[in-house]
Amino acid sequence: MVKLTIWLKKAFRRLYYFRIMALPGVSRPLMEDVIIMGRILALDVGEKRVGVAVSDPLGYSAQPLTVLPRRPHADFLKSLAALVVEYEVSLVLLGLPRRTTGEKGPEAQRVLALAGEIRGKLGFACETWDEWLTTAAAERILIEGDVRREKRRAIVDKTAAALILDGYLNFLARGKNDDAGR
């Protein structure tokens, strides 16, 4: 006999845990913990602006959302916290810029410091993901779509954030498919 217990983590209504546990006398559980993720919010952090993208609740697609001003920093953190609560985000994903040599430069150190601040001050789950040339790729996509230069400047950051998030979602999907194939 197996007893099914379901926990709902109420913090921002983000994660649902399903766990099948064995009753006394049963040698092993039938199923390990399964975590169903909520939305993911991706950030393309720049000097002046931060592009923001959000996934759908099931984690299939990434949509550009908005661009936040980076300064003043306190206002940026308030806006970020408001977006996390509004979209019921389970993970904040920051694009981590690396140099062409693969080293982490001063830009990457700033992103890592911001990730620590999001975890520590705001209490949100936070990860980093490689953002190798996403802004340049977003610029090319917008040019190919005949978006005018003035409008491109306003949306390139959130488009880059969507590309970062899309890469992360594809990685997660490949991981799930690899596990299913075993």
* Residue 85 near residue 12, CB atoms below 8 Å: yes
pLDDT of residue 11: 28
pLDDT at 177: 60
CATH of 39-180, one of 3.30.420.140, 3.40.50.2000, 3.40.190.80, 3.40.190.10: 3.30.420.140
Q: Is the peptide bond before 57 cis (omega within 30 degrees of 0)?
A: no
Residue 16 pLDDT: 33
CB-CB contact of 44 with 51 (8 Å)? yes
Which parts of the chain have pLDDT scores under 50? 1-36, 179-182
Q: Give the whole-angstrom CA distance, residue 94 versus residue 107.
A: 12
The pLDDT, as a whole number, for residue 37 is 64
Render pLDDT for 86-106 as a digit per residue (tens, 0 to 9).
999 999 999 999 988 889 999
| pLDDT at residue 5, rounded to an integer | 26
Spatial separation of the C-alpha atoms in residues 90 and 128, rounded to whole Å: 14
pLDDT of residue 130: 92
Please tell me the predicted confidence (pLDDT) of residue 31.
32
With helix as H, strand as E and coil as C, how does the chain read?
CEEEEEEECCHHHCCEEEEEEECCCCCCCCCCCEEECCEEEEEEECCCEEEEEEECCCCCCEEEEEEEECCCHHHHHHHHHHHHHHCCEEEEEEEECCCCCCCCCHHHHHHHHHHHHHHHHHCCCEEEEECCCHHHHHHHHHHHCCCCHHHHHHHHHHHHHHHHHHHHHHHHHHHHHHHHCC
Where in the sequence of the chain do the CATH 3.30.420.140 domains occur?
39-180
Q: How much is the pLDDT for 135? A: 87
